Every structure is written in C-alpha cells, then in structure tokens.
C-alpha cells in the first residue's frame, strides 16, 4: 500500500466564542475578536462575528485568519450588547466563503445567528429529508441543518429553548453551539460533551468559549464547563439552565493530547499537566537510552519535557518553529502544504549533531510529516532517532469533527509498529498504550471518547457516512 503525500496529523475542528453584556458598556465585537484570536489554533480557514444591535443581528465573516478578516473599521461597525464568533477549519463542507460562520438566518418566528463546533453523523440523512420537503440550503455544512431544524421546531414551540430540545432529539454527533437571538445568548452542548465549551464572567457580562485560554485573554473569570446536554440561556433577566435527558461525559481525549492550547483547562483539568504526564507514562513504557529528548513543536514539547524528567535524560530544543505560518494541514492545496512543511521547522544542528535522539510527538496519522522530520534530523547529523508517540496508535477514523474519514489513510491501521518505523526511517518506534492513557487519567478514561484508538464510538455511525463526506468535498 502506498500512502499519498497528504497533510500529516488531524484537521482541527472549530472554535467558538460568545458574550452577553446586559448594560452595553463593553465593546462586545472587540472582545469577541480577541477571544477568537486566542482560539485561532482551532481553525484557520475562516472567521466571523455576529452582533445583536437592539434586536437586529449584524455580522461580518470571510475566509482568512481573524486579523485578516477584521480591522478597526469593521469592528467599529459591529456595535451591540451581545455577540458570537467563530473560527473554522472545514471537516464537513468545502472551504468556501458561504460556509464561514456564524450562520445568520431569518425564519417565520424571527432570526438568529448560530456558531457550531463539532460534526453531526446524521446530517446528510436529515438534510435529504428536509430537501424533499422543500427546504433550501445555502451552504454545504451540517451547521445549517441544525439551524434549519431549530427554525422549523420553533414554529410549534413556546420558546427557542423548547425548539432546541426537539432538535437535540433529531441530531446525532458532536456539537457545541452558540446561538444569538434578538434578546438571548444561548449555549448548547451535545449530550456526550464531545466538544468543549466553558462559561466565564467579565464585569457583569457572561461569556462562553471553546477553551479557557480565550477567557484568560479577555480577562474573564472561569465559572464552569457547560455540562453535556445543557442549554444555558442568558438574557437581561439573568441565566437559565436546562438539561437534555440521557447525558454522559465523553469529551474527545484528543483535546488534551493535541487540539487544545497547553494553557487551557478542560473539565477543570490542566492540558499542560496531562501532556506532561503523558510523556512520563510514555517513558515508563518505552524508555530508550539516548543523549537528548526533543519534542515536535508545539504539541509534542510538553510531553517531551515529561519524558525527559522521567528518564533523567536532558531535554533540548531540536527545532526552531516559524511562528508566522499555520499548521501544515491548514493549507488546502497540496503544493502549498509541501512548502509549509519545509519552512515550518528548522533543525538546531548543534543540538542534535552526533547525538542519539528521542523524538516525541503527539500522534502519527499518515506519517508523511514524521518521515520528513526524521530525515531532517538525520541530515543534521543525528546518530540515532527513536520516535515515541504520546498517544496510542490511531486505528479508526473520527466522525465527530476531525477529518480522518477513511482507514486507508491511517498508517497504524495498515502497518505494524516495526513496519511504520522502517517507513518513517526511525531506529525504533513506540506508542503510549491505552492502559497507559488510562493511568494518566487516573483510571477514568471511560469519561472520554477514545474511538480513534479503540473503534468504540459513542453514537451509531450511519453506513453511508463516508460517501457523504467524499461528496461534500472534504
């Protein structure tokens, strides 16, 4: 089997941020801008902000990074007392401008803006049914299916919260939502809590974000995580919470391993500390006698520090990262991706030349970038390169907002560990075990989704899901 030169590692999901300022004293658009800036690592294709201006929803969105889409002129136009924002990487739907969020729609009982982080597994089934009934869709994203269902259910509901509960009966998969109406800001998390969502407070304003790092950036106080299946409505009258039935915690474990920023807290747990513990546990399972330990920036660095401490081997910087480009897989065109891989990292030759190196990374998906990085170390004079991965082998695709739609693209699903080491050019390769991952989480791994390692999905996956993804152009 020959693997294509596809981008390495997972594609990110999205990041969402929202704020409700009842007295209108805060510049909600600018605060949302800075909140999205802190979440830029979660999506780098498009960004957008919608603001409630005295009952009217105005918005601006486009393809590009947050600082490319927004400037002072645009932000000064977005005035109001509540706002939601979104940064996106496409996992369902093409990276076209019309797929940028928030989605703003008008319907019989009013209008709303919606920002979505996650992926539905039955969106194609619902969309086909709605289209047969005459519904018209303007985008190719599953978020519009959610918006369409809420607007339809609202017609026969006493309020929008009831419409959301009815919609939750129909949709399956991962979703953290922020919904802006003429008089409310509503936060929603799916019954499994697959995607993160936290609540904070700044002055007398309530805000929501995908990660606590966004709260820190704007100077907000963390209150708590939005619970799985919870609907929180914020109005001038206060905060109201209600729960969907049958809720269980299954936050995506890769949020800790890779996606979230190291300075964030998820479910009250430090991402940095978990990554350090992953490195320590990895060393306990797969120690190798070497001269230095280095990490692949940035997500492999913290695990490398933990590995080095446990092993008693010096931690050293092996690479200098170009901070002015995004993650390699963000670039949609193959030629752009290849250039990005070459300029993203540069080896510190004096640190690795003549050394036996332990190289720590968070995961191997397709292996293309890992192979290039190991070659860079060899070319710089490394005597040995032993690759250690701070997560178990990725054997199964994710259907909840990470773009790994086909097992044929997953190198660990098709080759043995020894074969992968040869393919990548490493002297040895070891992964963290599932038992070891459980140890890191104090025996509570059952509270997280580990489907990409185990194949145990928290929802039923429709048989034609892969076909739908391919047709949508991901």
Residue ranges of alpha helices (H) inside 171-237 are 212-218
Q: Map residue 394 onto helix, strand or coil.
A: coil
**449 has binding-site annotation:** yes
Measure the CA–CA gap between 80 and 58, rounded to whole angstroms.
Answer: 9
Token pair listed for 13 = 């999901």
* Dist. CA 224–CA 359, nearest whole Å: 36
Q: Do the beta carbons of residue 210 and residue 16 sit within 8 Å?
A: yes
Question: Which residues are within 8 A (CB) of 263 and not within 5 positions of it... i.e. 6 or more apart?
Answer: 213, 216, 271, 272
State yes or no: 299 annotated in a binding site.
Answer: yes
**Pair of tokens at residue 88:** 């996106």
283 is in an annotated binding site: no
Omega within 30 of 0 (cis) for the link into 298: yes
Catalytic residue numbers? 14
Q: What is the DSSP string of 329-362?
A: GG-SSHHHHHHHHHHHEEE-HHHHTT-EEEEEES
- Strand runs (DSSP E) across 351-450, as ranges? 356-361, 384-389, 428-431, 448-449
Q: Is 213 annotated as a binding residue?
A: no
Does 82 show up as a binding residue in the annotation?
Answer: no
CA distances from 259 to 9, 178, 275 (A): 11, 20, 11
Binding site for [4Fe-4S] cluster, residues? Answer: 252, 398, 449, 452
Binding site, residues? Answer: 252, 299, 361-362, 398, 449, 452
Binding site for Mg(2+), residues? Answer: 299, 361-362
């Amino acid at each position: 089997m020959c693997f294509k030169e596809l981008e390495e590692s997972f594609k990110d999901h999205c990041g969402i941020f929202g704020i409700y300022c009842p007295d209108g004293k805060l510049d909600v658009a600018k605060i949302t801008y800075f909140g999205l800036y802190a979440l830029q690592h979660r999506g780098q294709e498009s960004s957008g902000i919608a603001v409630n201006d005295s009952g009217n929803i105005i918005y601006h969105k486009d393809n590009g990074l947050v600082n490319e889409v927004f400037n002072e002129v645009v932000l000064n136009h977005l005035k109001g007392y509540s706002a939601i924002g979104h940064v996106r990487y496409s996992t369902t739907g093409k990276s076209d401008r019309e797929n940028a969020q928030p989605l703003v729609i008008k319907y019989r009982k009013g209008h709303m803006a919606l920002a979505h982080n996650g992926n539905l597994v039955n969106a194609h089934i619902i969309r086909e049914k709605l289209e047969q009934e005459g519904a018209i869709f303007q985008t190719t994203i599953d978020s519009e299916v959610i918006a369409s269902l809420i607007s339809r259910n609202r017609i026969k509901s006493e309020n929008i919260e009831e419409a959301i509960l009815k919609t939750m009966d129909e949709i399956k998969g991962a979703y953290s939502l922020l919904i802006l109406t003429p008089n409310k800001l509503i936060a929603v998390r799916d019954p499994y809590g697959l995607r993160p969502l936290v609540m904070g407070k700044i002055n007398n304003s309530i805000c929501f974000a995908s990660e606590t790092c966004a709260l820190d950036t704007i100077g907000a106080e963390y209150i708590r995580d939005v619970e799985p299946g919870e609907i929180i409505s914020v109005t001038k009258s206060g905060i109201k919470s209600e729960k969907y039935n049958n809720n269980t915690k299954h936050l995506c474990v890769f949020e800790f391993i890779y996606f979230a920023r190291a300075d964030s807290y998820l479910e009250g747990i430090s991402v940095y500390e978990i990554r350090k513990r992953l490195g320590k546990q990895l060393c306990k399972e797969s120690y190798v006698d070497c001269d230095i330990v280095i990490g692949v920036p940035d997500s492999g660095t913290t695990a490398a520090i933990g590995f080095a401490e446990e092993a008693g081997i010096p931690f050293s910087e092996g690479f200098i990262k170009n901070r002015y480009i995004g993650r390699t897989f963000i670039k949609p065109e193959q030629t752009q991706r290849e250039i990005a891989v070459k300029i993203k990292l540069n080896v510190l030759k004096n640190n690795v030349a003549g050394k036996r190196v332990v190289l720590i990374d968070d995961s191997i998906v397709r292996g293309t970038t890992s192979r290039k990085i190991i070659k860079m170390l060899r070319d710089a004079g490394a005597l040995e390169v032993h690759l250690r991965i701070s997560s178990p082998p990725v054997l199964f695709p994710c259907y909840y907002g990470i773009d790994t739609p086909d097992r044929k693209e997953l190198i660990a699903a098709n080759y043995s560990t020894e074969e992968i080491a040869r393919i990548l050019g490493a002297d040895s390769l070891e992964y963290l075990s599932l038992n070891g991952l459980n140890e890191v989480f104090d025996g509570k791994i059952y509270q997280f989704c580990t489907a990409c390692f185990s194949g145990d999905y928290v929802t039923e996956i429709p048989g034609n899901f892969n076909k739908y993804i391919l047709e949508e152009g991901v």
